[in-house]
Chains A and B, each alone.
Chain A
């Protein structure tokens, strides 16, 4: 158990509404990531964080923002959700010690934007 939880696990919302997904870790790892998974596209990186208040963009960052005010929480926000953001969102943490380089994934958050 990598000590990573995502919430909510399922959410249905309407176009134009704001949505925030939360990723929580208990391992105190430095790096955290948000990916989205879509059929035919695999996993694509949205944003990642390498420390408190330190974040960077990934491949598909448009329409998303993130915040990390404390080590254990990494929030992904869709300011105004669109149907193209319907997806499964995975949070991951990167092992700092021992199993270096390995990412541990949460169970995913399925978001449907109507």
Chain B
């Protein structure tokens, strides 16, 4: 079974609409969870991460994600998206040994006006 599952491969939304990108993880990975963003023709950069503590984590550009242990989920949300949020988003988790980061297949967020 896939260790990190992103449930939507593509999410099209209109500007200023809310968005949720869904991510579930399996018991084969740790609960050190990350969201990375990749803008067109660029490398990946960290958006936010959960290591411990508060289950709600926020990024500097308005995204937030909530760690839900009972649902084994780490969904990413933003209440109002901008055109500039158009990118590919990757959910990731460390393996149980804590040596390697395992990625989901990615979700392409397309924001239109």
Chain A residues within 8 Å of B, Cβ to Cβ: 31, 33, 35, 40-45, 48, 50, 56, 58-59, 90, 92, 94, 100-103, 105-108
Inter-chain contact A101/B90, CB cutoff 8 Å: no
The answer to whether B99 has its CB under 8 Å from any CB of chain A is yes
Of residues 93 to 107 in B, which have CB atoms within 8 Å of A's CB atoms? Answer: 94, 99-106
Instruction: Name the A residues within 8 Å of B36 (CB-CB).
Output: 103
Contact A42 B104 (CB under 8 A): yes
CA A49 to CA B22, docked complex, whole Å: 31
* CB–CB B106/A42 < 8 A: yes
Contacts of A92 in B (CB 8 A): 44, 101
B68 within 8 A of A: no
Q: Which residues of B contact A35 (CB under 8 A)?
A: 103
Contact A44 B51 (CB under 8 A): no
B90/A105 in contact, CB under 8 A: no
Contacts of B9 in A (CB 8 A): 40
Q: Inter-chain contact count A-B, CB under 8 Å?
A: 53
Specify which chain B residues have a CB less than 8 angstroms from the CB of A41 in the assembled complex.
105
Chain B contact surface mostly:
strand
In this complex, what residue of B is CB-closest to A106? B43
Provide the B31-48 mask, 1 if CB < 8 A to any CB of A, else 0. Answer: 010101000001111100
Further 15 A-B residue pairs, CB within 8 A, beyond A102-B46, A102-B49: A35-B103, A40-B105, A42-B104, A43-B44, A43-B106, A45-B100, A45-B102, A48-B99, A48-B100, A101-B94, A103-B36, A103-B44, A105-B43, A107-B42, A108-B43
Contact flags (1/0) for B67-104 with A, using CB distance below 8 Å?
00000000000000000000000100010000111111
A102 CB → nearest B CB, Å: 5
CA distance A45 to B94 in the complex (A): 12
Contact A90 B100 (CB under 8 A): no
Bound CA–CA A101/B42 (angstroms): 21
Closest residue on chain B to residue A90 by CB atoms: B43
